[in-house]
Amino acid sequence: MKTKYYAIIDIGSNTMRLVVYLRDKSGRIKEKENVKVVARLRNYLTADGVLDKKGIQTLVKTLHSFQEVTRFYELESTTCVATATVRHARNQQELLELVDKETDFTIRVLSDYEEAYLGYLAVANSTPFQDGITVDIGGGSTEVTYFENRKLRFYHSFPFGALSLKRQFVAGEKPTEEELQHIHTFVCEQLKTLDWLPDKQLPIIAIGGSARNVVQIHQEKVGYPLAGLHQYKMKKQDIEDMESELAPLRFSELQKVDGLSKDRADIILPAMQVFRCLLDIVGTTDFVLSRKGLRDGLLYEVLHRRNEMTLFADVQERSFEELAKDFEIDRTHALQRQNTAVLLAKLVEKKGLVELNDHDTFLVKYAAYVYNVGAYIDTESGNQHTFYLLANRTIDGLLHKDRIILALLASFKNKSFYNRNAEVFQSWFREEELAHYRLLGAIIKLANSLHATKRNVVADIELQEDGDDLLLTVICNKDWRAEWYQVEKQKKHLEKQLRRNVELIFREDTHSYIS
User: Burial level of 288, CB count in 10 A (0-12/13-18/19+)?
Assistant: buried
pLDDT per residue over 247-277, tens digit each?
999 999 999 999 999 999 999 999 999 999 9
> What is the band of 350 on the pLDDT scale with cuts at 50, 70, 90?
very high
User: In whole angstroms, what is the distance from residue 397 CA to residue 312 CA?
Assistant: 11
Phi (first) and psi of residue 351, to 5 degrees = -85, 5
Q: What is the mean pLDDT of the chain?
A: 95
User: Burial level of 416, CB count in 10 A (0-12/13-18/19+)?
Assistant: exposed
Helix (H, G, I), strand (E, B) or coil at 482: helix
Top-confidence residue, 227 or 485: 485
Beta carbons within 8 Å of 317's beta carbon, 6+ residues apart: none
pLDDT of residue 514: 55
User: In whole angstroms, what is the distance from residue 107 CA to residue 109 CA?
Assistant: 6
pLDDT at residue 307 tops 80: no
pLDDT at residue 512 tops 70: no
Q: Are residues 65 and 37 in contact, defined by beta-carbon separation less than 8 angstroms?
A: yes
pLDDT at residue 1 tops 90: no
pLDDT per residue over 430-457, tens digit each?
999 999 999 999 999 999 999 999 999 9
pLDDT per residue over 467-500, tens digit each?
999 999 999 999 999 999 999 999 999 999 999 9
What 8-state DSSP symbol labels residue 27? S
* pTM listed for this prediction: 0.94
Beta carbons within 8 Å of 394's beta carbon, 6+ residues apart: 228, 230, 231, 291
Q: Are residues 166 and 42 in contact, defined by beta-carbon separation less than 8 angstroms?
A: no
What is the mean pLDDT of the segment spanning 308-333?
A: 89
515: nearest Cα among 487, 478, 474, 462? 478
The CATH superfamily holding the domain 113-292 is Exopolyphosphatase. Domain 2 (3.30.420.150)
3-state helix, strand, coil in the chain (%, to 5): 50, 20, 35
* Element of type H or E holding 122: helix 112-124
Kindly list the strands in the beta sheet with 458-466, ordered across the sheet, starting from the edge strand earlier in the chain: 458-466, 469-476, 502-508
The CATH superfamily holding the domain 316-508 is Hypothetical protein af1432 (1.10.3210.10)
What is the mean pLDDT of the segment spanning 118-143?
A: 97
pLDDT at residue 329 tops 90: yes
User: In whole angstroms, what is the distance from residue 118 CA to residue 298 CA?
Assistant: 6
Span(s) in the chain for CATH 1.10.3210.10: 316-508
Q: Are residues 506 and 474 in contact, defined by beta-carbon separation less than 8 angstroms?
A: yes
Q: Are residues 476 and 506 in contact, defined by beta-carbon separation less than 8 angstroms?
A: yes
Q: CA–CA distance from 339 to each of 50, 282, 287, 334, 484 (Å)?
A: 63, 41, 35, 9, 18
User: In whole angstroms, what is the distance from residue 190 CA to residue 436 CA?
Assistant: 47
User: In whole angstroms, what is the distance from residue 130 CA to residue 145 CA?
Assistant: 13
pLDDT of residue 306: 57
Kindly report the CATH class assigned to 4-110.
alpha beta
Q: Are residues 443 and 411 in contact, defined by beta-carbon separation less than 8 angstroms?
A: no
Beta carbons within 8 Å of 442's beta carbon, 6+ residues apart: 412, 493, 494, 496, 497
Span(s) in the chain for CATH 3.30.420.40: 4-110
